[in-house]
């Protein structure tokens, strides 16, 4: 899972729209996402800052209501990251 996340981040440095299109399908409102989906968002934000800006509204709009659902420490930390 870490390797797949790293591949998506590497591809997302050049093709951010295609990567985000696929990753956002795994990021549904009301359903706590997998740890590595959030990790991929965080790493994409670091590696391609300007490419992620257009997606911030949809990501944050979906993520903010989910913050109360993150009960485990590893999920809390990845939401912060």
Please state, rounded to an integer, the average pLDDT across all residues of the chain. Answer: 92
Which has the closest alpha carbon to 59: 21, 5, 6?
21
Question: Tens digit of pLDDT for each residue in 23-53?
Answer: 999 899 889 999 999 999 999 999 999 999 9
Rounded to whole angstroms, how far apart are CA atoms 26 and 37? 7
Report pTM. 0.86
CB 31, CB 70: distance < 8 Å: no
CA distance 62 to 65: 6
* pLDDT at residue 19 in the model: 94
């Amino acid at each position: 899972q870490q390797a797949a996340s790293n591949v998506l981040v590497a591809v997302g440095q050049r093709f951010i729209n295609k990567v985000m299109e696929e990753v956002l399908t795994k990021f549904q409102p009301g359903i706590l996402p997998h740890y590595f989906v959030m990790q991929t968002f965080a790493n994409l934000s670091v590696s391609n800052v300007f490419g992620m800006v257009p997606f911030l509204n949809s990501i944050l709009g979906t993520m903010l209501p989910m913050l109360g659902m993150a009960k485990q420490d590893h999920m809390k930390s990845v939401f912060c990251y």
